[in-house]
Each structure stands twice: as C-alpha cells, then as structure tokens.
Amino acid sequence: MANHDESILRGQRLQPAAPFPLPYQALRIALYHEYAARAFHRQVTEAFGAQPPFADVLRTREQRIAALSELCQRYGVPRPLDPFPAETTISPGWRDNLQRALAGEAAGIRLYRYLAQQVVARDIQKTLLRLQTASLDHLPAFEQALQSAQARERYHAERGIPASQAYVKHGPLTDLLERGFSLLARQHGALGLVGSLVRATHPATLAGIVAGGAAVHYLRKRDHTSQPLEE
C-alpha cells in the first residue's frame, strides 16, 4: 500500500497547489527521508557489524525520527508509511557504502535547508535546522572513515590481496595492525626502510611477528624475575 502523497514524498518538493498544508508536507517529507536513511544505515550495520560511523549514526536516526514523530502528533499529521525496509539495498563493499552515506548526508543538508525556508512554524523550522546541523556533524566521521577505507584497500592491493578482503576479520591483533600500518602507509616515507619491509609483508605475518616478539619478551622478563638473589 502506497502513501497518498507518494509523489511529493519521493520528489522531496513542497507543492503549494496540493490539498495538504505546507507544514503537513514538510514534516512528512522529512520523516520519509529519515526512514530511508535509517533503513540504509541499519542494513549496512547488519552486513558489516556495529562499527562506526554507521552504528553511531543509526542511533541518532532513531532520535531524529522520534523528534519528527512528536511534531506530527502535535500538528495532527499522520506519519507516512515506511516502505524502505523492504526496498532498500546496500553495496557489497564497505567503501562504496561510505560514499553513499556521504552523498546521503549532503542531500539531507540541502533538503532540510530547503524545507526550513518554506515553513513559518517556529518549532518545525527549529527542528529542521537541528536536523541539518546533525547531518553536517556527521560528515567528518564519514569522510575520515572513507579515507581510512581507501588507505586500507591500497595497503592490501600492494600485496595482491583483493580489496574485498580488506574487511575480513583475521583476529583482534591482525586487524589492529592492518589499520595501523595502512594509516602509516599514507604518510610518505614515514617508516623509512622499515616501512618498505612492512609494506611488503602480509598482515597476518606481521601479527605473528609481533605476537612472537611479545612472547619472547614475556619469557625473558619472567626468567629474570624468577632468578634467586645472590647472597
């Protein structure tokens, strides 16, 4: 079953000639946009795990929907039906979804600015501007995550590993080292000769080297502390 104002909701443009007041249209358009964003973020979180920034932003989406729903109740505006859980699809790659999220946040910023300019009710306008600010606040997290993803995929590509393997879980230590070395690889010459060796080594091998070194250090320290004191 479709919404009675489906064309307005999907077009995201107020229609003065429509038989619905502009505040009515603005609230339903904003809520519909949040439904779509929530479905997208939820599916990415389900597919890739509850990792930032998607998991964090998903929580704020629920808060935004609650705020808009409260305004709908105050103004007697029925909330639109939510078709997005059934029709939303995500990209198979983490980086592609980050790019889609950035585009979505930018679209939301433009949408809320436009809607806020068209309504005169102060409480609706203030809420729309708060949503715009929230989307602006989300941009740096997605931009940083995208840069990290690009660096991580380059790090794997240098070893002949498909980009899709950049997000396969290998274990806490290996994953931590992958993220750290991929970020260091972005710093040209930051590691010198050691950097060349690091870039040529598989992440799992590096994890083994570090773990082995830690074990040797622990055993030496234990032997040293267990030696009897000389009289």
Contacting residues for 201 by C-beta, under 8 A, at least 6 apart: 159, 209
Contact assessment for residue 95 and residue 150, using Cβ atoms and an 8 Å cutoff: yes
* Alpha-carbon gap, residue 150 to 130, rounded angstroms: 31
Confidence at 171, pLDDT banded by 50, 70, 90: very low
What pLDDT is attached to residue 180? 53
- What value does the mean pLDDT take over residues 153-177? 64
Confidence at 6, pLDDT banded by 50, 70, 90: very high
Contact assessment for residue 32 and residue 24, using Cβ atoms and an 8 Å cutoff: no
Contact assessment for residue 119 and residue 160, using Cβ atoms and an 8 Å cutoff: no
Q: Which residue has the higher pLDDT, 60 or 167?
A: 60
What pLDDT is attached to residue 161? 75
Maximal CA-CA distance, the chain: 100
Residue ranges per domain, the chain?
Answer: 6-155, 169-226
CATH class label, 6-155: mainly alpha
Confidence at 158, pLDDT banded by 50, 70, 90: confident
